[in-house]
Amino acid sequence: MSVIVHYLWLIPVLPLLAAGLSALAKQRQRVFAASLAIGSMALSLLLSCWAFGLTLSQSGAGHLYRQVVNFRWFQIGDTWVKLGWMLDPLAAVMLVMVSLVGLLIFIYSVGYMRDDENFTRFFCFLSLFGAAMLGLVISNSLLLLFICWELVGLTSYLLIGFWYHKPAAAAAAKKAFMTTRIGDLAFLLGMVWLYSATGTLLFYDSGKGCLETDALINLVTQSTSLGIAASTGISLLIFCGAIGKSGQVPLHVWLPDAMEGPTPVSALIHAATMVAAGVFLIARVYPLMAPLPGGPLGSGAALKVVTWVGAITAFFAATIAVAQSDIKRILAYSTVSQLGYMMLGLGVGGVAVGMFHLITHAFFKSLLFLGAGSVIHGCHEEQDIRCLGGLRKYMPITFATYAVGTLALCGFPLLFSGFWSKDDILHSARVWNGSHWPFYLGVAGALLTAFYMTRQVYYVFFGSCRLALGQTTASEQRTVEHAGLPARRHPHDELPPGPRESGRVMAVPLILLASFSILLGFLGTPAWPWFQGFLTGSRPVLAFGSLLEPAILGTMALSTLMVFLGIALGYWFYGRRALAGAQAPDPLEHVQADIFVLLRRKYYVDEAYNWAVVGLNAWCAKASDWLDQHIWSGLVQALVFVVTGLSWLNRFVDEVLFNRGFDGGCGGLTQGGSLMSKLQGGRVQRYLRLAGIGVVLLVLLLVWGCRAS
């Protein structure tokens, strides 16, 4: 076993240390906190690359490289609860992705958060997030994974609400935390069930782990009172956790709101890494989801659910994204939609298909978010795309990289990574033998994706600048008011009023991410499926011929058509003529006003939840309050009277009966003592006489005893 496997724990612990140290740092020690966070992440990246290289060199044809290190945590009765970490291709890929994207975003944050007074706290939270996410990736125990899972949830909460003085941010943080908790509850239940069924939560434990053959056979053959196999039940419960974390329908509502956090947070947590943790979780417990070829009927039911949820989410979120006007919200719905694609890929094609899209998406979506951040930063915190426009001239680097990200997300043919990964998913969906509908939904989603991204790009970067220059934007005003920044720190005082390109510290990560967005795609083309082979442990073969296979070619052609169609539609609506102004209605509104409003209001899901869940909760609270005031309070009052009465009685008994009795007794005792010590007259003659009398009395006692008995 290699050294790095033993020291794999260092990868999450380094950022954890950084978080701990910067938690102790003072608010003004900005350089310290930032360099700690970036340095620790860079070290983690190096270690991750080492681990990745090791995995790469060790995996060969036919066998999957997997090393685990388990250790005992604590004991309950006779059983030890064990935790552990593992290194396998899945973990290695995630490690490199998380630490690389994390490092780039950390660097970007230095520029983005430059003016924030809580800079130190921000980096503390970021490091903590990095630690938890990396720990989640390498954990070899569902329990450890769950712990890290909750920790990333916590940091997500902390970072969404980072500008807690904004009521919307505080509300969004609360919403995110509570919504994901619903999924986590099911996850916890699944975990408990798994533990009771297999007696372990370790994934791999040299034959005894819960994802290894023995346990799987046991789980598949156990059936429950619901008529499904235990493995299916557990998988579905765990999948509920993934639904919450990865923003799948119906728990997607928190993710768009989470955009209230700082943009680097949106990029790191709510686009690239944490939200993908649900996908990763499903990939990790995949053996449980799709156990044993030829297993009993219905054992693949969990995967069907995954597929359907993914497909529906992919389409559903894409439709909403079409009608949004907040630059980050559009991206958020796009993220939800892409996560749906990943789930779809997992369901129809297996781990490699879903994970490939996860990795490529992580790069191009964080690129898009960082680009959006750059736009927001350069335009005085303006997020409404209707108020932007024409930025192509002002921010060329941002525009170029954003365009790359857009094309990758749309799945522009051949050159961009999104094309290959999405195509892989669509191809698998097409040949899936369950139903054709997921495929249709996916194709429709691809069309919509291309459309809404084109719309966004036209809004933001083309046409003329619609920024209300010279006056503070509404969101900027809020930020300034709540943060209480001194006036001289205000951007207007130092900088020219127009939109401006971001500094180098923000531009460099953008360029790096853009290049990754292009290049990564070539690792998983049908001609050379290296990535898929790496994850499944088979050796890829370079075969350009497979590109021309009718099935693959057909899918590629179809998705290409969809992309072009989407872009063309976007141009038709938004590119032909410049928008009239910030207040002008959306061109789509002219065509179908009702549907546009429906989409704009996100199908009224939030309102429905508000009415149903929140309303029910409020009604229960009211009912409890009424019960409290009118029924329980009366009971308590009655009880109080009884207790008071008893205590009066008690006091009476105590004072009058016992105290006097006790005092009397004590007095008696003392008197007895005085009497006794009177025996001690001090005259020895008397002593001797008393002793003699004593002897005589004792003799008499015994003699009398003899008589009596």
Binding site for other proteins (CB under 8 A): 669-670, 672-677, 679-680, 682, 684, 687-688, 690-695, 698-699, 701-703, 705-706, 708-709
**Cis bond upstream, residue 250 (ω within 30):** yes
52 in Cβ contact with 29 (< 8 Å): no
Cα torsion angle, 504, 509, 515, 517, sign: negative
3-state secondary structure of 7: coil
Residues 16, 148 contacting (CB under 8 angstroms): no
Return the number of the residue (590 or 689) whose C-beta is nearest other proteins. Answer: 689
> Contact at 8 Å (CB) between 59 and 65?
yes
Q: Toward other proteins, which CB reaches closer, 640 or 690?
A: 690
Q: Which is nearer to other proteins, 433 or 685 (CB)?
A: 685
DSSP 384: B
- Closer residue to other proteins in complex, CB, 618/702: 702
- Give the separation between CA 462 and CA 409, rounded to whole angstroms: 19
Cβ closer to other proteins: 543 or 699? 699
Which secondary structure element, helix H or strand E, spans residue 580, and what is its range? Answer: none
Q: If you write DSSP's letter for every residue of 239-304 in order, what string do you get?
A: HHHHHHHTT-TTSTTHHHHGGGS-HHHHHIIIIISGGGHHHHHHHHTHHHHS-STT-STTTTHHHH
Shortest distance (Å) from residue 681 CB to other proteins: 9
- Smallest distance from other proteins to CB 708, Å: 8
Packed helices 504-519 and 89-112: angle between N→C axes, nearest 10 degrees: 150
Compute the least distance from the CB of residue 654 to other proteins, in Å: 19
Q: Please check whether residue 464 is in contact with residue 386, taking contact to mean a CB–CB distance below 8 angstroms.
A: no
- Which C-beta is closer to other proteins: that of 227 or that of 705? 705
The minimum distance between CB 666 and other proteins, in angstroms, equals: 8
Report, in Å, the least distance between residue 50 CB and other proteins.
54
Q: Please identify, using beta-carbon distances, which residue of 167 and 694 lies nearer to other proteins.
A: 694
Q: Tokens 């290296």 correspond to what residue?
A: 530
Q: Kindly tell me which of 27 and 680 has the beta carbon lying closer to other proteins.
A: 680
Note the helical H segments in 70-212.
Answer: 89-112, 119-138, 142-160, 167-198
**Minimum distance, C-beta of residue 655 to other proteins, in the bound complex (Å):** 21
Nearer to other proteins, 504 or 689 (CB): 689
Indicate the Cα dihedral angle 385, 390, 392, 398, nearest 10°: -30
Write down the least CB distance from residue 665 to other proteins, Å: 10
Residue 682 Cβ vs other proteins, minimum distance, rounded to whole Å: 7
397 close to 504: Cβ distance less than 8 angstroms: no
The dihedral region occupied by 414, where left means phi > 0, alpha psi between -120 and 50, and beta the remainder, is left
**Min separation Cβ 210 and other proteins, Å:** 46
Residue type, 112: Y
486 phi and psi angles, rounded to 5 deg: -65, 150
Nearer to other proteins, 597 or 701 (CB): 701
Judged by CB, which is closer to other proteins: 199, or 667? 667
Distance CA 248, CA 255 (A): 9
Q: Give 477 or 670: the residue with its C-beta nearer to other proteins.
A: 670
Place of tokens 């490092």: 103
- Residue closer to other proteins, measured from CB, 168 or 695: 695
Inter-CA distances, 612 with 205, 491, 607, Å: 45, 44, 8
Nearer to other proteins, 60 or 668 (CB): 668
Q: What is the C-alpha separation between 582 and 46, in angstroms, rounded?
A: 47
- Between CA 71 and CA 295 the distance in angstroms is 32
Minimum distance, C-beta of residue 653 to other proteins, in the bound complex (Å): 21
How near is the Cβ of 698 to other proteins at its closest, in Å?
5
d(CA 358, CA 343) in angstroms, rounded, equals 10
CB of 680 vs other proteins, minimal distance in Å: 6
At a CB cut-off of 8 Å and minimum separation 6, what does 665 contact?
none
Which residue in the block uniquely carries the two structure tokens 């872009």? Answer: 567
Nearer to other proteins by Cβ, of 618 and 691: the residue is 691
Minimum CB distance to other proteins, residue 697 (Å): 8
Structure tokens at 373: 């951040």
Residue 603 CB neighbour total at 10 angstroms: 13
Measured between alpha carbons, how far is 128 from 173 in angstroms, rounded to an integer? 17
Distance CA 113, CA 617 (A): 38
**Residue nearer to other proteins on the CB measure, 638 or 691:** 691
Minimum CB separation of residue 707 from other proteins in Å reads 9
Min separation Cβ 658 and other proteins, Å? 15
Query: Least distance in Å: CB of 677 to other proteins?
Result: 5
Report the 10 Å Cβ neighbour count for 515.
14
Neighbours of 435 (CB within 10 A): 14
Question: For residues 79 and 685, which CB has a smaller minimum distance to other proteins in the complex?
Answer: 685
Q: Nearest distance from residue 3's CB to other proteins, in Å? A: 48
Encode 638-668: b = buried (16+ Cβ within 10 Å), e = exposed: eeeeeeeeeeeeeeeeeeeeeeeeeeeeeee
- Count of Cβ atoms closer than 10 Å to residue 295 Cβ: 17
